[in-house]
Homo-oligomer: A and B are copies of this chain.
Amino acid sequence: MSLDALIQSRKAGYTLPAPFYLSHEVYEQDVARIFGRYWIFVGVEPEIAEPGDFFTVEIGTDSIIIVRDDEMRINAFHNVCRHRGARLRNAGSGIVGNLVCPYHSWTYNLCGELIHNEHMGENFDRSQFSLKSVHVRSLAGLIFICLAAAPPEDFEAMRAALEPYIAPHDIAKSKVAYQLDIVEEGNWKLTMENNRECNHCSANHPELTVPLLEYGFGYQPTPENLSKMKRFEELLATEHRKWEACGLPSVAIDSLSGTTGFRAVRLPIAQHGESQTIDTKVACAKLLGKFEQPALGGLSVWTQPNSWQHLMSDHAVSFSVLPLAANRTLLRTRWLVHKDAQEGIDYDVNKLSSVWIATNAQDSALVERTHLGVSSPAYQPGPYSPYTEGLVNVFSEWYLKHLTL
């Protein structure tokens, strides 16, 4: 079946037809047309705080080096030597003066220019052999790349909308306290669908549902829960007024259907109201940015097609999703605290990370379980809940629209 016919075969409001999750051909289209053409979240500025700091990002069979140069600019290059095609740097992160290929020592500066090589003859023109660059932008410390020659132009609209929400958390002045890679045994879209709803939370996330308020992510109104839902709405309005009065934009903004799609909202946290931790209190005594009070709820930010972020007063958790194969997905999670916070004094890494380490493992099992299920010839797309799975549907529709656009 052609990709267009496959897209047409999807029933509105239902999960995707099986080939979108299973087919190697669709996976290759996802890599080429989704991850190859839109703005992809790949990391945070604290990962490359100083000149020469770099990390790599693997997308499909590609590898991209994200590096801070001596002028403090962030540059991105394909991780491939222009001589014999060797990968310049192993996947990972580190510090470099120049980018030197280990094979025959071709040497590039941090702007990607070839500045040294040998035996190529006197007429060899080095300027023709710069590293191939990749578009890269930082939005309040969140780093996005775009592999297309001409990236979507609405990135700046996202920046204008999101920066006021995120900037007070001052990601650029934070550091990575912990980072974790998980390979999920399922299609990347199942990872994203799982992220876009929390109706699975109560049955699967005993840790996360301590700080999370269950009415924050949608509910079917029934006579029994009407009063609870109303109380939640009132709490939300009260908190939003309070936080906005402090200069913290908090009300929901939603542009998830846009080409560079995004959504943000600041949500109350249960009990002490401070942080997504097992006791709902801050895990880091030194707060982010210029915050002075801990109970600021949690700013949640989602971007299409591959990220979500939770930013509290004391720390932020940043998630990126990258496809490895039709049935394998990399979920990279970073826990950020103020760059001057001291481990063992201001924060304990275990307390900081335990809720999301547990939640990620639980979600990973759900993604694998769903991948196994949709692999059955008996799988038939099922209906999303209109009350709790609306954002899942928005993700699926964004994906289908932008796959062939």
Contacts and interface: CB of A to CB of B under 8 A. Distances in A.
Main secondary structure of the interface of A (DSSP, over half): loop
B132 A378 contact: yes
Q: Which of A85, A366, A372, A378 has the most CB of B within 10 A?
A: A85
Interface stretch (A76-84, A249-257, A307-315): A76-84
A63 interface: yes
A387 interface: yes
A337 to B, nearest CB: 33
Interface stretch (A118-126, A275-283, A350-358): A118-126
Q: Which of A374, A376, A380 has the most CB of B within 10 A?
A: A376
Contacts of A370: 84-87, 103
A50 interface: no
A152 interface: no
B78 A376 contact: yes
A126 B219 CA distance: 19
Nearest to A388: B119
A78 B373 CA distance: 9
A81 B124 CA distance: 58
B104 A199 contact: yes
A366 B103 contact: yes
A377 B85 contact: no
Interface residues of A, number: 57
Q: Which of A86, A87, A383 has the most CB of B within 10 A?
A: A86
Interface in A34-87: 36, 60-63, 78-87
A385 interface: yes
Given A103-B366, A119-B388, 15 more contacts: A15-B85, A60-B377, A62-B377, A63-B372, A80-B379, A82-B380, A85-B376, A86-B373, A88-B373, A118-B220, A119-B199, A119-B386, A120-B386, A121-B385, A132-B378
Interface of A: 15, 36, 60-63, 78-88, 90, 102-105, 118-121, 124, 129, 132, 193, 199-200, 203-204, 218-220, 366, 369-370, 372-383, 385-389
21 contacts: A36-B377, A62-B375, A62-B376, A62-B377, A78-B378, A80-B379, A82-B382, A85-B376, A85-B381, A85-B382, A86-B369, A87-B369, A87-B372, A102-B203, A103-B366, A103-B370, A104-B199, A118-B199, A119-B219, A120-B385, A129-B382
